[in-house]
Structure 1
Amino acid sequence: KDGASGFLVKFNEGFSSPPHIHNITYRGVVIQGEVHNDDKNADEQWLPAGSFWIQPSGESHITAARDKVNMAYIEINEGPYL
């Protein structure tokens, strides 16, 4: 829906998404474990708990998690998030 929203996400161990885009800009905050979020050709940069990233709308990226224990909060300032 329109408006601000957010959600918690837990990835499977070794998860790596295919390159993809989103229709809105969002912020991700690592709560537990380590998460990588960047261009598919970027060097791996594992963000530990307490780190955050901003994903601009329309920018191709992958999201990955290597450990079984991980969690991130995705914050959206305006929707809808597709």
Structure 2
Amino acid sequence: MGSVALPIRSRLARSFFLVSLIAVVIQFCWLFATTDMIAVRGFAVAAGFPIFILAVAVFQVWLAGLAIRRGWIS
């Protein structure tokens, strides 16, 4: 929803991206807490892609905040 709200210049984009970031953190924390994936595959293999997804989510929140501060979205 944040990806739709950003191009239509809605301030809700940041809120949607923030909710998405929280959901990503909960999802991967749950995954790593309930499985032994890191022990079986190793940290670099098991956490590589989740770290990338987390970085993209953080970037989206930052970009929406920057857009609000610069007045690109109202």
Q: TM tier, shorter chain?
A: under 0.3
TM-score (norm 1): 0.20
Q: Which has the higher contact order (CA 8 A, sep 6+)?
A: 1
TM-score (norm 2): 0.21
Question: Looking at CA atoms only, which structure, 1 or 2, has the larger radius of gyration?
Answer: 2
